[in-house]
Structure 1
């Protein structure tokens, strides 16, 4: 398989599911107000940490974009543990990345990724919650650095458009197909290129020999923690690793570790909560992801699962014409001049303002 065909094949498989995920993300943006988040996540204890992880999981926020929301929740009364769980659970898996995971990695890996992201958030939140403040919180800020080629303002914003439901829905969908798509499009393209190269150019046995076991998982975690990749953009790379011979558990470590941290996250987290909390944060992510990766490999072996076969079966669910149409729509929406022309015709809120 040539490089171009490999990239096109994985892009076609992902496009319809990514469109679906972005649509659902826009609906969540329109229907879930920040005041409700503060009420659900406020307080301390195991229940609050678990709620923060579960509530944050489907929200359409990247690692950098989750920072302002998490700080606002923390300073609005949420304890250190729930704030940390929200900060990890939110970028660890979103509805858009979950749908593309189902398309590119199959149902087992989609379920494993969702559950693992929540468990990592809970475990790390509980660990950070046991630390005590050692520094004075810095003034609230949006982000140190950038989410991709756009700043954090779009994805970090939790405000809603006031007015009738129709206005909120239109604004939410405009947000999803402008701010979110702009934030992930460059990294998604990079992910598709890397995935295509892994599938087309790297002999499977070369990665298969290095792609399982505790050592490989530790390497993936150490590489993934300082890296910034949003959950959606990390998925094509994970698919390339999986199809090139890396074990599902090792791929899972990369999928969880890479999206939940960035240098911006680490810098703001340290200023807000101190060095001890930062060490607990990194330790919790490292231990949790590796333990979950080992568990997933054990389950795959125990149940004799054929993950590549699951991927092939999912990709056969949709006709090629539908995949091609979805890819064309995504490309049109991702290219700003084309999107502005479309927005001028449809009068979509916020679609042409980025």
Structure 2
């Protein structure tokens, strides 16, 4: 019973942010052109990774909401390195989590936390992006570039050979009020154009052209909602439920005293990482837990490791990384995130001991970001959407088996 209650509590906490992530993913897929993402985030490299990390850092998405957003970013044309950097920096930090860190842990942790998160995202993105299991991509790129050059060289001759034979047709009137058919003669068409009132034509065209412009935004928003609630949710809901279930298991059967008994040092950091991997928690919600660990005697470095590794290395995120970026990318992802987290953990302990920075838990309380009624409503809507997708899949599989 306690396990079910913890699972429902985590689902309530993550549902609004998951729906926000799904909506952002749909907006990215519909509104942002593919060439824009390919131009800014489509190439592997350090600068592309830095841009993706800086874009994701201030966004108020947790580990539940960033998954569909990152999937949408990847399928819209982003590279592996950019997708990974966005997937790491977004849940590890944000404007909301920095403010909560300032209140609960002090200004030092509020400053070093986003720095460590962006660094972790850049390193993980570079490691994942530099992974090239086969050389076919390079060969294909070379082949495509060669073919493009050949097409450019032959453009003039091609246009003169196949296109020159076709005589240019008289330009048809593009006026929306023009009722002339292609069967009309050119003379009749010219007489009609001369007799028409120019003001009437322009006003008619403006009135009819403004209607699609007014409906374009609503139409695109509806496409974004349909894409998010169908394709993206179908691809991510299984791993989301697995991640929430493991988080509920850890919260139910792993007490805080188990972590606090390790104190500080590399052992405490490794234990915190092992416990945080199955957890499914956002950066803001992990801050009160980190404050409790700090009060229980865990070092500030280990607390920082928990706040970095918890949101970025959960089961759901690793599953999506393996599905979208490849199984071998999971190891590069873990090496980048865990390695940078441990490095900044030691750096934090050193700075606190040497320079005397204060890291105090000034408030130990449950931090509720959104109203309970809003979280409950989002959880109910999300449950109905998942149930709908499950029934659709079951109906299709049952129909196939009956044939």
Structure-2-length-normalised TM-score: 0.54
Matched, 1:143 2:195: no
Contact 1:44/1:78 (<8 A) preserved: no
CA-CA distance at 1:335 after TM superposition:
5.3
Equivalences for residues 15-34 of structure 1 within 5 A: 34=28
CA-CA distance at 1:331 after TM superposition:
4.6
CA offset digits 1:153-206 (Å, max 9, x no partner): xxxxxxxxxxxxxxxxxxxxxxxxxxxxxx9xxx99x98x99xx96xxx6xxx9
Partner of 1:77: 77
Contact 1:253/1:289 (<8 A) preserved: yes
Contact 1:44/1:82 (<8 A) preserved: yes
Matched, 1:264 2:357: no
Distance in 2, matches of 1:227 and 1:54, equals 25
Matched residue SS, 2:236: coil
CA-CA distance at 1:244 after TM superposition:
1.5
Distance in 2, matches of 1:100 and 1:233, equals 9
Contact 1:133/1:274 (<8 A) preserved: no
Matched, 1:250 2:343: no
Partner of 2:188: none
Partner of 1:241: 293
Distance in 2, matches of 1:273 and 1:328, equals 32
Change (3 A) 1:92 1:148: farther
Partner of 1:92: 92
Distance in 1, matches of 2:131 and 2:73, equals 18
CA offset digits 1:232-261 (Å, max 9, x no partner): 221111000011211110000000001013
Indicate which of 316, 327, 330 corresponds to 1:275.
Answer: 327
Change (3 A) 1:60 1:328: closer
CA-CA distance at 1:142 after TM superposition:
3.7
CA-CA distance at 1:48 after TM superposition:
0.8
Distance in 1, matches of 2:266 and 2:116, equals 17
Contact 2:68/2:236 (<8 A) preserved: yes
Query: Alpha carbon RMSD of aligned pairs, Å?
Result: 4.3
Distance in 2, matches of 1:329 and 1:128, equals 35
Contact 1:133/1:273 (<8 A) preserved: no
Contact 1:43/1:77 (<8 A) preserved: no
CA-CA distance at 1:63 after TM superposition:
1.9
CA-CA distance at 1:41 after TM superposition:
3.1
Distance in 2, matches of 1:265 and 1:230, equals 12
Partner of 1:125: 125
Partner of 2:101: 101
Distance in 2, matches of 1:64 and 1:335, equals 16
Change (3 A) 1:240 1:209: same
Matched residue SS, 1:211: coil
Distance in 2, matches of 1:336 and 1:267, equals 27
Distance in 1, matches of 2:318 and 2:297, equals 32
CA offset digits 1:237-295 (Å, max 9, x no partner): 10000112111100000000010132222122112222221111111112111111001
Change (3 A) 1:301 1:124: same
Matched residue SS, 2:297: coil
CA-CA distance at 1:105 after TM superposition:
1.0
Change (3 A) 1:329 1:117: closer
Partner of 1:176: none
Contact 2:259/2:271 (<8 A) preserved: no
Large movers: runs of 4+ above 4 Å: 146-149, 206-209, 326-329, 331-337
Q: Which 5+ residue runs of structure 1 have no aligned equivalent?
A: 1-21, 152-182, 316-322, 341-349
CA offset digits 1:142-161 (Å, max 9, x no partner): 41436579x9xxxxxxxxxx
Distance in 1, matches of 2:122 and 2:272, equals 21
Contact 2:101/2:110 (<8 A) preserved: yes
Matched residue SS, 2:106: helix
Indicate which of 254, 270, 281 corresponds to 1:229.
Answer: 281
Distance in 1, matches of 2:324 and 2:114, equals 27
Structure-1-length-normalised TM-score: 0.61
Matched, 1:59 2:59: yes
